[in-house]
Chain A
Amino acid sequence: MQTHVCDCEQIAQDAAATERELYAKLDEMIEAHRGQKGVLIQVLHKAQELFGWLPEAVQIKVAEGLDVPLSEVHGVLTFYSFFNTVPRGKHTIRVCLGTACYVRGGKEILEKLQKELKIQVGGTTEEREFSLEINRCVGACGLAPVVTVGADIYRRVKLDKIPGIVAKYKGNGA
């Protein structure tokens, strides 16, 4: 006989399953680095790749796994801007404010995006769709000003192109 499972339960079960898988991968990864010198940052990179951010539970796992005090793990990950301790939107929009982009109007682009998304730099929209960040030079200075959305790069962005760029990702989970 088939058991009937309602959708929401299914989703919750799936989520739990993926989380279990993720933690299993995390354990594996930590295991591979155990005992090596100076690997904390590299391990945190890989953990963030798995989870998208670094929840406290993950930090604890890393600390225990590498035999480093949790305070040190926390100290290190808060030092570096790449690590996130809060969940992010599905899409991270980054406006480059390197000097070249800045000289070519990156600041106005950022202001426009803040208005468009109604969030500040570092913020995430209510529905967790977008996070807004600034970049300090992606090294594509020839194409300034540059905006990146996830892995997509928009070059020589003009103010009037912003709504179109945002619209492209709205309601798109990918």
Chain B
Amino acid sequence: MTMEKLYRSHVLVCAGAGCVSSGCHAVADALTSEIAKHNLQDEIKVIQTGCIGTCDLGPVMVIAPEGVFYTKLKPEDAVRIVEEHLLKGRVVEDLLHTYEEGGQSFRSVDELPFFQLQKKLVLRNCGVIDPANIDEYIAREGYSALGKVLTEMTPEQVIHEMIKSGLRGRGGGGFPTGRKWQFAAASKGDQKYVLCNADEGDPGAFMDRSLLEGDPHAIIEGMLIAGYAIGASIGHVYVRAEYPLAIERLSQALDQAREYGLLGDNVLGTGHKFELDIRMGAGAFVCGEETALMASIEGKRGEPRPRPPFPAVSGLWESPTVLNNVETYANVAMIINMGAEEFAKIGTEKSKGTKIFALAGAISNTGLVEVPMGTDLGTIIYDIGGGIRGGRKFKAAQAGGPSGGCIPKEHLNVPMDYDSLIELGAMMGSGGLIVMDENTCMVDLARFFLDFIQDESCGKCTPCRVGTKRMLEILDRIAHGDGKEGDIELLIDLGERIKDSALCGLGQTAPNPVLSTLRYFRHEYEAHIRDKKCPACVCNAMFEAPCSHTCPAGTSVPKYLSLISNRRFSDALRIVRDHNPFPAVCGRVCNAPCEDKCRRSQIDEPLSIRNLKRYVADVEMKDTKMPPVKTRGTKSGKKVAIIGGGPSGLTAAYHLARMGHTPTVFEALPEAGGMLVWGIPEYRLPKAVLREEIRAIEELGVTIKCNTRVGKEITMDAIKSGFDAVYVATGADKSWNLEIPGEESEGVYDSIKFLRDAALGESIPVGENVVVVGGGNAAIDAARTSLRLGAKHVTIAYRRLREDMPADPYEIHEAELEGVVVRFLVLPTEVVAEGGKAKSLRCQLLELKEFDKSGRRSPKAIEGEVIDIPADTVISAISQEPELDFLGGNTIETKRGKIWVDKQTGATSADGIFAGGDVVTGPATVIEAIGAGITAAQGIDRLFGGDGVIPSDIEDIVIPQPAEDVDDIVETPRAEMPSISVEKRNRFAEVETGYERDVAIREANRCLRCDACNQESR
């Protein structure tokens, strides 16, 4: 062998398939020519390596020995890398990796959390060596295991070593590799075969491809050792045709191995004989099944056959055969080199070694990840994977491809090993790990997998061919909104039968995605079947557009946005008010779930739907009178009592009046509006705006009786006897106590009372130092109100992290701008008082530990770490619950302190009594309360013999057609809401000032008009 030349620096350019498609060759070429230009070619060597693992950052490179890691490179960056880094030794800062723009940059690979938590054993050479150069493999202990095996070990010893290591097959089932070899070795046959399954067909798995591309010799060496152990002289690698680069690199490696005497009649001069070649697949998923794979190698249709006989007895050409997957073989030489005992120290008791996962889907860092077996899922997703893309919420991970199952957020603590995954109804499979966020519909996902299986079923056995077809038909109709009661049971029954009776692994596992999504997400199936709702807004056939489908009030968002962009503001407002009597209120304080589902976010950012709603409402209220809404025009004479004058009660009253009934609203406090008036401060929602919208409701014939508390000024019995129906919408305004010592001290408030008193204009002696406990909007409102009442230092104490706070991120941001300090990971333990007055809030410091049922890391106390935050005012804003005492002896069924209702009608267990809003749900949003009001109004109308249809004339409004030519959508960020600068904010003047006309029109024009698309496809 020739002496390798020594270089001062190695530039490792990743040439894995991901980076190749990102254009890494052009980068490597530019770098090589730039290096030549500076005459550095004898000092610096450019090496194109296999996959480094950070597939979404490509093209990437590592400069060794210092390990500097450059990402997202372009050919023109080569100049600076050479002139700055390689010549002057200065790191090119702006090419380093950062997780967020302007955030911390990572200088070297070792600093990145993505790499830090990994244990790269099988991938040890990937991204380090040039896979096209056998010498580099040899330099890193390559083929030394083969040498050792051939010269120092008997085949029995090799097999024994494999058994001792505990290595289990990495392709799916997890059968012990050593045992498999033992069976094949014991089988009699003149010719035995060693096969490698590189038909990595599971969508979402790409570790085998990366290994073949990045370290092909490791697989060749593993197969050579297997051949020696079982006495086989012929091997085939069955590679899928979709992997041309893997095929190319592997054939190159085979040629080199032959040239070096590692393959052929006399391996390493020992007389051992082994020949190895590549067999290309032709696009059939079923060929990943071992018997089908062997049929395919024989040149036949890749149809499976029943086992036994197992391949170890009668496999390829009816001879004893060992078939392992790529990753399994890649472990073999390493085990021989490090020794079975060392290897067995890694991983868990029953799953030894490491496992490579292909991390993909809705996750921040996609790529290849190698971790010890038993690493928990949450660590892989959050610590290595960097969490969910775009700050969304984790919903489930799909493990094991079409044969596997979903792992929901309740199980983020699951150790990733063979047996734990089986217990959860998933499986290791080949290690594909697809992460899904709230925008994935589980029904649709199951349909996707079943469609895949249906496509790939070879058709030989009936359960798989026909059974999966029937299952797919059922899923299709569920996804189209035509699901029936009993469909879920039918799916389970069919699924179980197919599992029992299908011929091969493909068929037996085919129902898994359906069964597993049903196990954890049955409620989503039920939403599709019963409510005709797709919560993730994926099943297009069920809705007009994701925004309107998500709106609890069912507002036709694309319609009114299109009217805004056509300057037809009055018509736009009519569309909103057809469902929602509070456009100006919701235009200010709605949490806008519609925006979370806006498809524009796939291009740039979601539409600013809330702000546009506010624009039309403000414009109309200022310039003209509110446009009229359609009513039935007849009177039914039915009287409805509505208890509670909040958004839910008033919405119900509004629609009942439109349907010709006579509602009376009983409000305990001096003014109607509920939390809108008493909970949301003036600077966010001016009272005048609210009053105007309530006035419009009254104009329809709604009577509002203030200062009338049911149970005090009027009895429940009087209401029941005096009215034809009752709607209970009393909200949830009983604050939870902190349940800590000192809570009775002077200066301790609950947020409801605090905000209510502030709204009533009662003087609240706010101290200099205020601490608010909680993380929701009420906490933010209390904090910002305290500042306006004269507090000097306002702190919010929250027990988790910022991303866990239920409050609107925009509100948190505004509060911080105004000077509120948020302290995370603290738990109040005592109000420290002096002379009966609060002095400070004692807090336990917390740290995040394992994942809890909500899919978040649970905060646990750090022993002995306690702080006192100065506080003469402490406001508790942790949560609230309904006050139900007024119901008296009326037997209305409750559930966990809340009234139970039928979701479709709003009816309670008592005749003629309906309920909705926070009293049913617990503290929720304004728009959900409005939605409940609509449902109850319809339910009450049906009780009176009506059809439950709210009279509407918006069908008469001609909706502008979307522009034909939507091809040239230009990326435009959403229009920002203008606001008064922090310095100029005075007490309670409204902070946000609203859009200008042209801004509103421009913003509305960003709408993609999903309604038009969906009409076509429906």
Which residues of A are at the interface with B, using a C-beta cutoff of 8 A? 37-42, 44-45, 72, 75-76, 79-83, 97-100, 102-105, 108, 111, 135-144, 146, 153, 155, 158-160, 163
**Cβ–Cβ contact B204 & A98, under 8 A:** yes
- Rounded to whole Å, the gap between the CB of B822 and the closest CB of chain A is 33
- How far, in whole Å, are A153 and B18 apart by their CA atoms in the complex? 10
Q: Which residues of B contact A83 (CB under 8 A)?
A: 282
- Rounded to whole Å, the gap between the CB of A127 and the closest CB of chain B is 20
- How far, in whole Å, are A64 and B285 apart by their CA atoms in the complex? 29
Chain A residue at minimal CB-CB distance from B56: A142
**Cβ–Cβ contact A138 & B242, under 8 A:** yes
**Cβ–Cβ contact A144 & B603, under 8 A:** no
**Cβ–Cβ contact A136 & B206, under 8 A:** no
**Cβ–Cβ contact A99 & B398, under 8 A:** yes
User: Does B473 reach chain A (CB closer than 8 Å)?
Assistant: no
Q: Which of B295-303, B566-574, B629-637, B945-953 faces chain A?
A: B295-303
Q: Which of B163-171, B357-365, B645-653, B750-758 faces chain A?
A: B357-365
B3-33 residues at the A interface, CB under 8 angstroms: 17-18, 20-22
Known contacts A139-B206, A140-B17; A103 and B603 CB within 8 A of each other: no
**Cβ–Cβ contact B366 & A141, under 8 A:** yes
**Cβ–Cβ contact A137 & B202, under 8 A:** yes
- How far, in whole Å, are A86 and B301 apart by their CA atoms in the complex? 20
**Cβ–Cβ contact A99 & B56, under 8 A:** no
Chain B residue at minimal CB-CB distance from A115: B1016
- Rounded to whole Å, the gap between the CB of A165 and the closest CB of chain B is 11
Q: Which residues of B contact A135 (CB under 8 A)?
A: 242
**Cβ–Cβ contact B280 & A142, under 8 A:** no
- How far, in whole Å, are A142 and B358 apart by their CA atoms in the complex? 9
**Cβ–Cβ contact B301 & A144, under 8 A:** no
**Cβ–Cβ contact B56 & A143, under 8 A:** yes
- How far, in whole Å, are A45 and B240 apart by their CA atoms in the complex? 12
* A160 touches which of B300, B434, B967, B1017 (Cβ 8 Å): B967
Given A37-B317, A136-B285, 16 extra CB contacts under 8 A: A37-B298, A38-B297, A42-B280, A76-B301, A80-B282, A82-B283, A83-B282, A99-B401, A99-B432, A99-B434, A104-B361, A139-B206, A140-B206, A141-B358, A153-B21, A158-B603
- How far, in whole Å, are A72 and B892 apart by their CA atoms in the complex? 73
Q: Which residues of A contact B34 (CB under 8 A)?
A: none
- Rounded to whole Å, the gap between the CB of B562 and the closest CB of chain A is 19
- How far, in whole Å, are A153 and B209 apart by their CA atoms in the complex? 17
- How far, in whole Å, are A135 and B360 apart by their CA atoms in the complex? 17
Known contacts A98-B203, A142-B18; A79 and B458 CB within 8 A of each other: yes
**Cβ–Cβ contact B279 & A42, under 8 A:** yes
Known contacts A79-B302, A143-B18, A159-B603; A99 and B282 CB within 8 A of each other: no
User: Does B968 reach chain A (CB closer than 8 Å)?
Assistant: yes
User: Does B969 reach chain A (CB closer than 8 Å)?
Assistant: yes
User: Does B243 reach chain A (CB closer than 8 Å)?
Assistant: yes
- Rounded to whole Å, the gap between the CB of A96 and the closest CB of chain B is 8
User: Does B201 reach chain A (CB closer than 8 Å)?
Assistant: yes
- How far, in whole Å, are A121 and B440 apart by their CA atoms in the complex? 23
- How far, in whole Å, are A138 and B280 apart by their CA atoms in the complex? 15
Chain B residue at minimal CB-CB distance from A136: B203
**Cβ–Cβ contact B361 & A100, under 8 A:** yes
User: Does B961 reach chain A (CB closer than 8 Å)?
Assistant: no
- How far, in whole Å, are A113 and B380 apart by their CA atoms in the complex? 35
User: Does B602 reach chain A (CB closer than 8 Å)?
Assistant: yes
Ordered by A's residue number, 30 sampled pairs between the chains whose C-beta atoms are within 8 Å are A40-B299, A40-B300, A41-B281, A72-B300, A75-B301, A79-B301, A79-B458, A80-B282, A97-B448, A100-B204, A100-B366, A102-B203, A103-B360, A103-B436, A104-B362, A108-B602, A136-B203, A136-B285, A138-B242, A139-B200, A139-B205, A139-B209, A139-B242, A140-B18, A140-B55, A140-B206, A142-B56, A142-B58, A142-B366, A143-B58
- How far, in whole Å, are A155 and B360 apart by their CA atoms in the complex? 14
Q: Which residues of B contact A97 (CB under 8 A)?
A: 203, 448
- How far, in whole Å, are A83 and B603 apart by their CA atoms in the complex? 36
**Cβ–Cβ contact A136 & B452, under 8 A:** yes
**Cβ–Cβ contact B360 & A144, under 8 A:** yes
User: Does B675 reach chain A (CB closer than 8 Å)?
Assistant: no
- How far, in whole Å, are A155 and B19 apart by their CA atoms in the complex? 11
Chain A residue at minimal CB-CB distance from B277: A42
B260-304 residues at the A interface, CB under 8 angstroms: 279-285, 296-303
Known contacts A45-B241, A80-B283, A160-B603; A141 and B302 CB within 8 A of each other: no
- How far, in whole Å, are A142 and B297 apart by their CA atoms in the complex? 31
**Cβ–Cβ contact A100 & B434, under 8 A:** yes
User: Does B367 reach chain A (CB closer than 8 Å)?
Assistant: yes
**Cβ–Cβ contact A137 & B204, under 8 A:** yes
- Rounded to whole Å, the gap between the CB of A103 and the closest CB of chain B is 5
- How far, in whole Å, are A76 and B302 apart by their CA atoms in the complex? 8
- How far, in whole Å, are A96 and B55 apart by their CA atoms in the complex? 16
**Cβ–Cβ contact B296 & A41, under 8 A:** yes
**Cβ–Cβ contact B204 & A142, under 8 A:** no
B593-616 residues at the A interface, CB under 8 angstroms: 602-603
With a 10 A CB-CB cut-off, give which of A38, A44, A103, A136 has the most chain B CB atoms.
A103
**Cβ–Cβ contact A139 & B243, under 8 A:** yes
With a 10 A CB-CB cut-off, give which of A45, A82, A99 has the most chain B CB atoms.
A99
- Rounded to whole Å, the gap between the CB of B619 and the closest CB of chain A is 31
- How far, in whole Å, are A82 and B241 apart by their CA atoms in the complex? 8
**Cβ–Cβ contact A99 & B299, under 8 A:** no
**Cβ–Cβ contact B317 & A76, under 8 A:** no
- Rounded to whole Å, the gap between the CB of B571 and the closest CB of chain A is 29
Q: Which residues of A contact B22 (CB under 8 A)?
A: 143, 155
- How far, in whole Å, are A80 and B401 apart by their CA atoms in the complex? 21
**Cβ–Cβ contact B361 & A103, under 8 A:** yes
In the A-B complex, list the 9 residue pairs whose CB atoms are closest, starting with the nearest: A142-B55, A98-B203, A141-B360, A80-B282, A139-B206, A40-B299, A100-B360, A153-B21, A82-B283
Chain A residue at minimal CB-CB distance from B434: A99
Q: Which residues of A contact B1017 (CB under 8 A)?
A: 111
Q: Which residues of A contact B17 (CB under 8 A)?
A: 138-140
- How far, in whole Å, are A83 and B969 apart by their CA atoms in the complex? 38
- How far, in whole Å, are A40 and B971 apart by their CA atoms in the complex? 51
- How far, in whole Å, are A29 and B188 apart by their CA atoms in the complex? 36
Q: Which residues of A contact B367 (CB under 8 A)?
A: 142
- How far, in whole Å, are A67 and B901 apart by their CA atoms in the complex? 74
Chain A residue at minimal CB-CB distance from B317: A37
**Cβ–Cβ contact B21 & A41, under 8 A:** no
Q: Which residues of B contact A102 (CB under 8 A)?
A: 203, 448
- Rounded to whole Å, the gap between the CB of B597 and the closest CB of chain A is 13
Q: Which residues of A contact B440 (CB under 8 A)?
A: 103
Chain B residue at minimal CB-CB distance from A40: B299
- How far, in whole Å, are A137 and B241 apart by their CA atoms in the complex? 12
- Rounded to whole Å, the gap between the CB of B456 and the closest CB of chain A is 8
* A38 touches which of B281, B299, B366, B967 (Cβ 8 Å): B299
- Rounded to whole Å, the gap between the CB of B844 and the closest CB of chain A is 40
- Rounded to whole Å, the gap between the CB of A168 and the closest CB of chain B is 14
